[in-house]
């Protein structure tokens, strides 16, 4: 029986149709700017999101890092959420490789960074301080769609203080589908936007950074320095174009399945469903049950990221169907036979 893997939407494997498109992709050397499929992807996403230029990179981490490096110089600072991916989950790359200082800001419960907190953190021009240069936001943030009114206000605040604004839109299309707003509208307040094709969209690898010609030219230079200049990468770009053509609308199915999963788990003693946003479900499990639950799930071919924190994140994606959801609910039910 096949494994139902809820650890992340990065675990998706390319579909047969995607592999067929990859096999016949027209390719060239992209470092020479000669891969037509990579160019088509960059132009496609830049056009869709209404930006002048795009840059194909191997990962979302590298896309965000190229953006931070394009916006900031050594000794600059960026304002970023304490639980934001670019701050917390990217190895400190901006500081390590860019000499860019992060200024973490506490998130409000809805995931926003309150503008008065941004205002307090934004430094005046004074040699004591790093130069505040950039605001980096994220959508979706831990599955949550961030209110567009907030994005518009925060970007306007940043621009009025001379800061650039970057969006880590790893799951921008999940936000678009869930909110019913076009992705280009969600992207509009920002100077640069990074989008992952390798999450719910199902490509095997790849992110695209979009922005102005000037910022993307700088990001392209950084991509080369970071080792992200790939050669016949049209093979991968073809998968990304296929994902944009065929896997965007269906994100609604992942969201519906996450809602169904949350509903199924809500009826089980010993599990507290603490949130469901887009394709993610968050549950709290008593700490002393975590190891037994992990073993039980593994024994029944269900995978979840169970660490030592009581909150467990379950993520739906392209490779999980309705039967998979029913199976997961059943496996959780048998793992929790009586109240603990």
Ligand X SMILES: *Cc1c(COP(=O)(O)O)cnc(C)c1O
Give the angle 86-92-94 at the CA atoms, nearest 5°. 70
In the window 159-188, what residues touch ligand X (CB under 6 A)? 168, 170
196 in contact with ligand X (CB under 6 A): yes
Cα 214 to Cα 207: distance, rounded to the nearest angstrom: 19
Residues with Cβ within 8 Å of 70's Cβ and at least 6 positions away in sequence, in order, are 192, 211, 215, 216, 218, 219, 222
85 in contact with ligand X (CB under 6 A): yes
In the window 204-223, what residues touch ligand X (CB under 6 A)? 207
Among 14, 60, 81, 264, binds ligand X (CB under 6 A): 60
* Nearest CB to ligand X, comparing residues 151 and 331: 151
* Nearest CB to ligand X, comparing residues 64 and 316: 64
The separation between CA 337 and the C-alpha centre of its own chain, rounded to angstroms, equals: 35
* Nearest CB to ligand X, comparing residues 122 and 201: 201
* Nearest CB to ligand X, comparing residues 196 and 251: 196
Give the binding-site size for ligand X (rule: CB under 6 A). 12
Of 59-67, 226-234, 268-276, 324-332, the segment contacting ligand X by CB under 6 A is: 59-67
Residues with Cβ within 8 Å of 116's Cβ and at least 6 positions away in sequence, in order, are none
Residues with Cβ within 8 Å of 113's Cβ and at least 6 positions away in sequence, in order, are 79, 81, 105, 106, 107, 135, 137, 154
* Nearest CB to ligand X, comparing residues 85 and 166: 85
Query: Cβ of residue 211: shortest distance to ligand X, in angstroms?
Result: 16
254 in contact with ligand X (CB under 6 A): no
294 in contact with ligand X (CB under 6 A): no
Cα 260 to Cα 308: distance, rounded to the nearest angstrom: 26
Q: Are 87 and 117 in contact (CB under 8 A)?
A: no
CA atoms within 13 A on the CB side of 95: 14
Query: Cβ of residue 59: shortest distance to ligand X, in angstroms?
Result: 4
Residues that bind ligand X (CB under 6 A): 59-61, 64, 85, 138, 168, 170, 196, 198-199, 207
């Amino acid at each position: 029986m096949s494994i139902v893997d809820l650890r992340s939407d990065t675990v998706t494997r390319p579909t047969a149709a995607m592999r067929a498109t990859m096999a016949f992709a027209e390719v060239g050397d992209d470092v020479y700017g000669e891969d037509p499929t990579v160019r088509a992807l960059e132009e496609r996403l830049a056009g869709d999101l209404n930006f002048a230029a795009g840059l194909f990179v191997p990962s979302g981490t590298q896309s965000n890092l190229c953006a931070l490096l394009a916006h900031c110089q050594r000794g600059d600072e960026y304002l970023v959420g304490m639980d934001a991916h670019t701050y917390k989950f990217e190895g400190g790359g901006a500081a390590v490789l860019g000499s860019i200082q992060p200024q973490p800001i506490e998130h409000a419960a809805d995931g926003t960074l309150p503008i008065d907190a941004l205002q307090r953190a934004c430094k005046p021009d004074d040699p004591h301080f790093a130069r505040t240069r950039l605001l980096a936001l994220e959508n979706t943030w831990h599955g949550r769609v961030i209110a567009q009114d907030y994005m518009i206000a925060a970007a306007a605040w940043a621009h009025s203080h001379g800061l650039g604004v970057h969006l880590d839109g790893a799951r921008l299309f999940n936000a678009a589908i869930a909110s019913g707003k076009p992705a280009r509208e969600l992207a509009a307040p920002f100077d640069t936007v990074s989008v992952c094709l390798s999450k719910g969209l199902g490509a095997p690898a790849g992110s695209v950074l979009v922005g102005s010609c000037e910022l993307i030219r700088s990001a392209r230079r950084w991509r080369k320095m970071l080792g992200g200049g790939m050669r016949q990468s049209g093979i991968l770009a073809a998968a990304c174009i296929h994902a944009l053509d065929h896997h965007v609308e269906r994100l609604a199915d992942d969201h519906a399945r996450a809602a169904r999963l949350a509903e199924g788990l809500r009826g089980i003693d010993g599990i507290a469903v603490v949130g469901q946003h887009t394709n993610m479900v968050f549950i709290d499990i008593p700490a002393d049950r975590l190891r037994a639950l992990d073993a039980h799930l593994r024994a029944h071919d269900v995978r979840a990221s169970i660490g030592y924190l009581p909150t467990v994140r379950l993520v739906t994606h392209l490779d999980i169907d309705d039967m998979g959801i029913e199976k997961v609910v059943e496996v959780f039910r048998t793992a929790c036979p009586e109240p603990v």
